[in-house]
Amino acid sequence: MISIQNLTNFYARNVEIIKMQTENITQEESLIQLPFRSNCLNWVVGHVLANRCNILDLLGADDLRPGLDLDHYERESDPVLGEAEGVLHLEELIHHLEESQLRLAAALEKETEESLQRLAPYRDRPEREVAFWIFFLYFHDSYHVGQTEILRQATGKDDKII
């Protein structure tokens, strides 16, 4: 069984990896598109943030969306192809991602192994144990965090971060 503290630490590690992979990346560089169907670094970071807000909502915690428009970064959204209304600055996305991690850690701290067994739907999906969704969404988080390495290299950095 993965402990709640381990989950919190795993999610925190993903934020640290994103911060490492976006270090010294400009807004312009974060909008570089790969030459095939994909999305840019800005979208990936924003999508992770939008997903974190969904997790906070699942846990009954305050997410960042009432004051933050993340429509460009939601699942099935159009690719971010450059500067446009609603496309957030990379630095702002990172700041909000750090804030979401603090809120996620606080929300998970209030949970117990038993409370995470309660059933809840996630978006348009059927009810499952909250623990299932938290772990599934950690997989989703990690999937996109892995993309940041390639997207960093697409900027021409040609370095090794981790």
CATH of the domain at 86: 1.20.120.450
Asked if residue 109 belongs to a domain, the reply is yes
Q: H or E element: which one contains 121?
A: strand 119-122
- Count structural domains, the chain: 1
pLDDT digit string, tens, across residues 110-135: 999 999 999 999 988 999 999 999 99
Asked if residue 108 belongs to a domain, the reply is yes
pLDDT digit string, tens, across residues 8-49: 999 999 999 999 999 999 999 999 999 988 899 999 999 999
Asked if residue 75 belongs to a domain, the reply is yes
In the prediction, which pLDDT does 144 show?
Answer: 98
Distances (CA, A) of 83 to 22, 89, 112, 153: 18, 9, 43, 20
Asked if residue 158 belongs to a domain, the reply is no
Asked if residue 110 belongs to a domain, the reply is yes
Q: H or E element: which one contains 128?
A: strand 125-129
| Residue count of the chain | 162
Q: Which domain holds residue 81?
A: 4-153
pLDDT digit string, tens, across residues 69-93: 999 999 988 888 889 999 999 999 9
Instruction: Determine contact, residues 18/3, Cβ cutoff 8 Å.
Output: no
Asked if residue 79 belongs to a domain, the reply is yes
Strands of 13-100 (E only): list them. Answer: none
Asked if residue 93 belongs to a domain, the reply is yes
Sign of CA dihedral 127, 137, 50, 102: positive
What integer best gives the mean pLDDT of the chain? 95
In the prediction, which pLDDT does 64 show?
Answer: 84
Report pTM.
0.95
Asked if residue 161 belongs to a domain, the reply is no
In degrees, rounded to 5, the angle at the alpha carbon of residue 137 between the alpha carbons of residues 132 and 138 is 100
